Structure 1
Amino acid sequence: MEYLVKDISLAEQGKNQLEWAEMHMPTLMRIRAELEEKKPLRGITVAAVLHVTKETGVLVRTLKRAGADVFLAASNPLSTQDDVAAALAKYDEINVFAWRGETEAEYYSNMEKIIKHSPQIVMDDGGDLHALLHDKNLTDTVIGGTEETTTGVVRLKAMEEQGVLKYPVIAVNNAYTKYLFDNRFGTGQSAIDGILRATNVLLAGKICVVVGYGWVGRGIASRLRGAGARVIVVEANALRALEAVMEGYEVLPMRKAAEMGDIFITATGNINVISKEHILKMKNGAILANAGHFNVEIDVEGLKQVSRSRRVIRPYTEEYELINGKKVYLLAEGRLVNLAAAEGHPSEVMDLSFSNQALSVVYIVQNRGQMTPKVFDVPREIDERVAELKLESMGIEKEELTQQQREYMRQWRYGT
């Protein structure tokens, strides 16, 4: 076993964190019990680039007990929980290469360490691992992979369309039990958690600008409104912009919203959606945060160019004095605010996402050689099973169709 973590002495603390997460992830624990008995991943090497959090720890522990040999690196330089990384290495024999505060060179070096072991399954969050394997032409041993987030799915779809994707990938992000819950409820809560931990500002009465109205943006906007904020949505897609209007939000282009907002949160998956030109228009004291996967949504280099000084004024809060005399505050270096300044999604919502991950990995192994190199959605039976198990764990009983009702839904002759 190999590992490279910040401080192995943190392992006991990390073990407690993992136990807490397991208590709040009953669906995945139910799946773990089944997989541990059957060992469907025996002999399989898994390379995973995921946020190294307590919830991810529960997932990789599950894969290990299903028989896999697991190599884990971080999908963001600031998202690793060092105590969890230490616990996984010490108590679970997970090959972990991750610590909080990695440089860009260390980030890619750790990824290269895990791909040296000829993985058969590749799990990714953001697409960097998939891209690295293809760039280095190291895909020969790969049976297939999974992708956790919207940004990564977009990249993989581009690879598929350009004919360069070498193995099948299941887009876990596209599962109903992922995007409707993780993206909306998970990021909706955890992004605001990160902003509040970094700033401790009052949300009530603030003008908050949410840039992007996908499932992440929807969740953030909803929770901001629930906290008493006045919410403006910036959206380039006409359908989503219309939906935001019908939900009661004000919809504006960024050039106008820039002058009005107190807090800005990006959630687009695109580059420079807040530019230096926008920043120069902002109010004195404006707060900038990013909830998208990569640190490209806010033009941080542009911000530096139009600033005459900067300093860290609070943990994860950097004050920039602009050339026009105003001050703006960038949170978590423009990286994922929910993971850099807080703990990421609550365990209860990751229970759904990572149950999909575990079952998708097993599905790929069981269907090796039968899936072509393309991006697949999570099989419907997996999605529905995860939902069923989650309801059971919550003690909720849903309605069941009668035989007459099932037959009615399969016929076409009878209407009124």
Structure 2
Amino acid sequence: MFAEIITIGDEILIGQIIDTNSAFIAQELNKIGVSVYQISSVQDDREHILQAIKEAESRSDVIIVTGGLGPTKDDITKHTLCEYFGDTLVENKAVLLHIEEIFKKFISTPISDMNRKQAWVLSRAEVLHNEYGTAPGMWIHRNGKVVVSLPGVPFEMKNLITSGVIPKIIAEFKRPFIVHKTIITYGMGESAIAEILDPVEVELPAEVKLAYLPSLGSVRLRLTGKGPDKQRLINLIEVEANKIKVLLKDYIFGEDGGEPLEVIVANLLTRLKMTLGTAESFTGGRIAQKITSIPGASVYFKGSVVCYATQVKIEVLKVPQALVEQYSVVSAQVAKAMAMNLKELLKTDFAIATTGNAGPTKGDSDAEVGTVFIAIATPKEVVVEKFLMGSQRDRVVQKSVNKAFELLQKEISKL
């Protein structure tokens, strides 16, 4: 069974707002075994809307349209749907009463005729009650297929999807089961993982697919099963997941629905009753920000020194100036000194230190843009690794943040 999602609004096409509605709808449809065939964004234009719905109806069983249901003249979705289905608009008394109640309770300005027009719906549509707004949803049947029109306001749309649309799809359509399992890896690139997993992919059952979802420093491996027997899909995916785990071993850090790496680190430190501090140069406090965004971080996180300037490294962290002059501020030696001295300064069990050149210029060092050193001070030693993170500043920083947590997790796990 297939569905399509159409979002209407010039504000999406000019980049004024981000289309989060489609992502939410797709996730909710996927949960009940409905595959999304296509997502489209179209202008507030009659011809464009008509063409988009016509094409979607030729391919899919359910078409969900959001947007263009407001009281202003540029909201033309209802009139366009009337033209498409050869229908007329009629006033719905229940919707009108709801609109009047909203104005009475929450809106200080008088209700206008333009607002009352939102109670007009297609005569053959089943009205979906919009608890939080004035524009109702509409469920329109034709030739065994359904077109659903919803307001574009996200919190109104979400409530209509979960309370109205999803239950109706479940009741009216026979759907296959879709089962996902996502394995999270760190420290190995997509192509390297694909090469290792080639024997697994070659022998995947027909009902199961494997997708690679790379991000900075991490690759998610999503196994998807689709078919009429849910338990069979669960069993098949579990078998394939175990094969992947055997092949990738230490590169696996969890599963989706589980915890991100910084939370895994937080749990380890809490369980061991150990503490952490960070000394950050080019990462500018982003490691500390990820840590402190986790509730209860004060149990294990003592603090951070954002030593962006070389002089701060020397004066606050007591990195010897001679060391900087001999090896450069972007060096393994300086990273090691930063971690050791931060650990001593804050009296922690572990410390992370970062120094590098994120670009676009070389700054106080002659190191090439993208050169990064990350040091982890442990109760026993200081481990330093060098990385070449590319030339795009934001990517260099974010990849380094992820890598720092990866290195810290490995060192904690050695205890």
Q: So what's the TM-score if we normalise by structure 1?
A: 0.24
Report which of the two structures shows the higher radius of gyration computed on alpha carbons. Answer: 2
Structure scoring higher RCO (CA < 8 A, sep ≥ 6) equals 1
